[in-house]
Chain A
């Protein structure tokens, strides 16, 4: 009585005959990123910018912490999302050279959900919240910048001073850092 299945089959046959539609195909990764971006609830301290508005897989996240040791700094992160998203995590890099126990001098970020703990049910919001957390609570366990981790662990005041110096574009332990004061 209901012909929906046979109608569906007919439709399928027709489309196979015509060949695939010529229009630009939106990929699975793009669809999922679109959803994630639309659900993003960014606080005042963060914003996203799209250097190429046609490419939602590559964007910049600007973070301006309003509390913690990194307060008053302005940090940008590049997000590069592959067509394998969400099966692969986004590739996130800090674009400034900063003094932080969980970010190395090349900008690589040590955040568990960007590595071994990534799973496709996590979304971009989870990654962004994770980044925000790193600036509020830098941690000395599992560090990428061992010197900074050592400072944080041994002498929180020294660490605090070093953060200040580095954020002003100063020199810490022979490394010159980028000025990130906004």
Chain B
């Protein structure tokens, strides 16, 4: 039997590379990290995730709104430690695709 493909739909799946045992939703807007904050329309690079030194993660837009509010006093809304973005490893490869398929820009 000979099979000829006439068309196919490629489907890619991606996930943020977050610290182990972190929640899968943002505690501020309660939407999954792979979805967007309430202000954004397009998930992914347009609505990135910010990881704190305390390992708590939020949509960047959500946490920056909080940090700009007076009542936050610069503290993480989960653990109340001063919120500082975790540097190094995290920003390098935000996208992880299964099977090594690159979905880069």
Q: Which residues of A contact B (CB under 8 A)?
A: 1-2, 4-5, 8, 12, 27-28, 31-32, 35-36, 84, 86-88, 116, 118-121, 123
Complex CA–CA separation, A5 to B103 (angstroms): 8
Query: With A1-B10, A2-B10, A84-B69 in contact, is A121–B27 under 8 Å at CB?
Result: yes
Residues of A near B65 (CB, < 8 A) are 87
CB pair B101 A2 closer than 8 Å = yes
Chief secondary structure at chain A's binding surface: loop
Chain B residues within 8 Å of chain A by Cβ, number: 26
Complex CA–CA separation, A133 to B101 (angstroms): 53
Chief secondary structure at chain B's binding surface: loop
Residues of B near A84 (CB, < 8 A) are 69
Q: Which residues of B contact A (CB under 8 A)?
A: 10, 12, 27-31, 37-39, 42, 62, 65-66, 69, 71-72, 75, 77-78, 80, 101-105
CB pair B101 A121 closer than 8 Å = no
Nearest 10 CB-CB pairings of A with B: A28-B38, A121-B27, A119-B77, A120-B28, A87-B69, A121-B77, A35-B30, A5-B105, A120-B77, A31-B38
